[in-house]
Structure 1
């Protein structure tokens, strides 16, 4: 079986649909917190396991010897190390054939705080002795276009990265990479550094928003604390605002502009241009 954890999230859904296009539903299982959200897949023949990362006892039945497992990183920053470790331990106990993990671009070299839990998870996977693949995902373009309408309405894209460059790709690009690893051969022991083919600046992003909306949008480069306060003023929790400002500092250092082409090579096509994702976001 191929087992996908966290399958009902935004990335997970794309991975499962990609897998269903390549393998029979009877060979696919999903491990999810809310089985009702996977009812459409169950109706198509996919096995659905009710799993909660915070309840290790629920994990045992989700894995079996010989399975290929995709551990999609949890979304609860601060809780992910024990959650991921529980999955790793359950996979080790079951004797799975491959554990793929969606980490973060840069791996051990990443110096921003958001990478810490990913580095700890990779260490736990290595220590488990399981055959593994690390899918070190860069930023999704949708991380920014999710707020495209708001940026257009305010006429500004806010940041504190000095207008440095970032090599994003569409969420589907990263999902396709996971599908390739889960269904292909020769990936064991690899750590893929995945990012978009072309890095872009926030001024370029603002220009795309303006071009596709027909309204003026400009990039406003702020000081770190001014940026943090602006994000809090927009309704973000203080902790999350601090994380985003720390990420911008990493962007300024060039850590997220690694356009090595590994993602495009893995999926066998160019990654989705930023402009295409902007256009889709504003059209929707």
Structure 2
């Protein structure tokens, strides 16, 4: 990893924003050329899924897309993003979850029905004994389409709700929780969000298709949420990327890691030692 990536390190202002609101918007994380090349591969996958029988009127949720092309693999340790991820979670991390979503126009009339509000991680939210619930992981969403206007299948959030274990939903299931807002961003934007942030996907009432990639980073002792068939990529990956793709010397290394398990720690000791206090 090139030390030049440290110019994209998490700033104290960004840390404050993320800790207080539960999310962080980084504009122009991807260049126009990157958006174009990634979108081309995204569209190829989508066309393949249509040929295989996917209903073009419904959203495509496709996990484990990292092995499909190097443009996706290169985002695993992307220099403009990974330093902010380790700035929030530390060095004992890996990519435990990844999925792409294509949301075509719904063809439906806009309505005010309450969206499907949730926190990520399923049973974790019922079985972890703490308050507020632990962060554990975060996601980075790379937006490939323009969702700077409402009604385009926008990702909605309730800022600051990551510290709340419950969310008040309208009893009649009409309207959204108090404080809910759509995330409105241009193509190339990366949105980081705490897994605890109450959020919702929404119908696409526009005429364009919403396209977004999600990269989920968590601690290495968390099980993968997708099949994550990336082991064949280890051999041609540099050590830090290999860590992020789930490599470990043995099972105990997920709990008591050695330098061979977590080369990111070794790299940070040299280049950003304040990140390695223990």
Whether these two folds match at TM > 0.5 is no
Query: TM-score when scaled to structure 2?
Result: 0.22
Structure with greater helix share of residues: 1
Query: TM-score when scaled to structure 1?
Result: 0.21
